[in-house]
């Protein structure tokens, strides 16, 4: 079966115990900015535990009166959770693991498999086996299977899902015996025109650590950001053909001002087939994941955050993440640039020793002038 599915103080107090390093002649604090690929990014949590895989896919129902649809291929029969996951929990994980970019220079969407639905139709068969239907928050979610892409295309069209012209062949790779789909759209209970975000939670049997990225071609155009939060036995990274990158692989000039642009440029240089591992957190499942999300992961599991930004057309292969793909080092922060030569100036080499010498001279004078007891 193909496995697939579908986030200094000590050093400052002990300067004389540290090796010589660059010293700045003024005390300007660096500027920290949170690295993020954009609010419209698709966010997915994957957690493996007890021979099952728990998946949470955040879905944003746009502020529109038009229908809305999402299609997610899965390799085994999923079990839907009728309780939506509060997006605030996903926000918490995002914020707690968001890369920190420190600027030391001089001061001075669409979802996975989205297709817009134009007409509301009944969720009926037409050669497709609809196994389960659940209302989850503002969405009506069904589990279905189809033996042929033509049957699935007919069912989707009859039920108001519009497949972009020329993209029907994307469905072919995900249809057949043993493969399933999760289809979701706005239900009759949601307020027309109101925007909402929820996490849809489902469970898959076994360990499923591959994401069907080519299915994103069914969504709207434009570069797509994807952020993955993977809780499993160890840190993970992307496997071939997706290159695992780190913050150190991003362009310094872009990184300081446009984190999304820096990620997109690095990924584009690998033909759109790369993910940036933005941090690996041992025991992160317990220390970072909030209550409900933590219940989906094994206690003590390692949490990995990784992201990409690319045109959906670049996603020509499924993404598999594995411990074998984890980089040796995956920093969650990076400092770029340095103060300009005028104003705050970096003194290199022996200047560190001079700074320490001046410190001792000042301290010696201070003691010498103090009155004796």
The per-residue pLDDT for 257 is 85
Distance CA 53, CA 85 (A): 16
Residues (pLDDT < 70) of the chain are 1-34, 38-40, 62-68, 104-127, 188-195, 220-221, 338-373
The per-residue pLDDT for 114 is 40
Is-contact 268 42, C-beta < 8 A?
no
Residue 372 within any structural domain of the chain: no
Residue 207 within any structural domain of the chain: yes
Distance CA 127, CA 147 (A): 8
Q: Cis (ω within 30 of 0) for the bond into 241?
A: yes
Distance CA 365, CA 299 (A): 57
- The residue written with tokens 């150190």 in the block is 248
Given CA atoms 322, 327, 333, 336 in this order, what sign does their dihedral have? Answer: negative
* Burial of residue 105 (number of CB atoms within 10 Å: 0-12, 13-18, 19+): middle
Residue 7 within any structural domain of the chain: no
Q: Look up the domain containing 117 and give its range.
A: 21-366
Residue 264 within any structural domain of the chain: yes
Question: Residues 286, 291, 294, CA angle at the centre, nearest 5°?
Answer: 40
Residue 2 within any structural domain of the chain: no
Is-contact 95 208, C-beta < 8 A?
no
The per-residue pLDDT for 58 is 93
Given CA atoms 247, 248, 250, 255 in this order, what sign does their dihedral have? Answer: positive
How many structural domains are present in the chain? 1
Cβ atoms within 10 Å of 54's Cβ, excluding its own: 24
Residue 211 sits at φ, ψ, to 5 deg, of -110, 130
Model pTM above 0.85: no
The per-residue pLDDT for 55 is 97
Distance CA 72, CA 12 (A): 50
Given CA atoms 160, 164, 169, 170 in this order, what sign does their dihedral have? Answer: negative
Residue 249 within any structural domain of the chain: yes
Beta strands 100-103 and 180-186 are: unpaired
Residue 373 within any structural domain of the chain: no
Distance CA 103, CA 91 (A): 24
Residue 6 within any structural domain of the chain: no
Distance CA 196, CA 335 (A): 36
Tokens of 78: 């999923």
The per-residue pLDDT for 61 is 72
Question: Residues 250, 255, 257, CA angle at the centre, nearest 5°?
Answer: 160
């Amino acid at each position: 079966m193909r496995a697939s599915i579908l986030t200094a103080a000590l050093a400052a107090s002990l300067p004389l115990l540290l090796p010589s390093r660059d010293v700045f002649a003024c005390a300007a604090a660096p500027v920290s900015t949170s690295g993020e690929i954009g609010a419209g990014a698709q966010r997915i949590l994957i957690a493996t535990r007890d021979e099952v895989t728990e998946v949470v896919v955040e879905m944003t129902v746009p502020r529109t009166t038009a229908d809305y649809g999402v299609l997610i291929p899965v390799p085994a029969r999923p079990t839907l959770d009728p309780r939506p996951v509060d997006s605030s929990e996903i926000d918490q994980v995002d914020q707690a693991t968001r890369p920190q970019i420190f600027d030391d220079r001089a001061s001075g969407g669409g979802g996975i498999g989205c297709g817009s639905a134009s007409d509301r139709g009944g969720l009926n068969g037409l050669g497709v086996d609809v196994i389960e239907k659940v209302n989850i928050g503002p969405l009506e979610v069904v589990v279905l299977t189809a033996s042929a892409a033509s049957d699935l295309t007919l069912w989707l069209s009859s039920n108001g899902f519009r497949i972009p012209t020329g993209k029907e062949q994307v469905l072919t790779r995900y249809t057949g015996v043993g493969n399933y789909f999760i289809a979701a759209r706005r239900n009759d209970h949601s307020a027309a025109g109101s925007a909402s975000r929820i996490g849809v939670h489902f469970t898959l049997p076994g360990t499923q650590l591959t994401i069907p990225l080519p299915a994103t071609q069914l969504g709207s155009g434009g570069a797509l950001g994807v952020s993955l939060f993977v809780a499993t036995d160890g840190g993970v990274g992307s496997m071939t053909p997706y290159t695992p990158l780190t913050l150190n692989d991003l362009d310094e000039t872009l990184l300081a001002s446009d984190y999304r642009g820096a990620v997109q440029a690095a990924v584009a240089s690998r033909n759109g087939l790369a993910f940036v591992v933005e941090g690996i957190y041992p025991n992160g499942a317990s220390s970072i994941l909030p209550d409900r999300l933590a219940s989906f992961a094994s206690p003590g599991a390692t949490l990995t955050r990784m992201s990409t930004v690319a045109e959906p057309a670049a996603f020509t292969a499924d993404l598999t993440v594995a411990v074998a793909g984890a980089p040796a080092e995956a920093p969650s922060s990076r400092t770029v640039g340095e103060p300009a030569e005028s104003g705050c100036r970096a003194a290199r080499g022996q200047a560190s020793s001079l700074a320490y010498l001046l410190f001792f001279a000042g301290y010696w004078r201070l003691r010498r002038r103090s009155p004796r007891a």
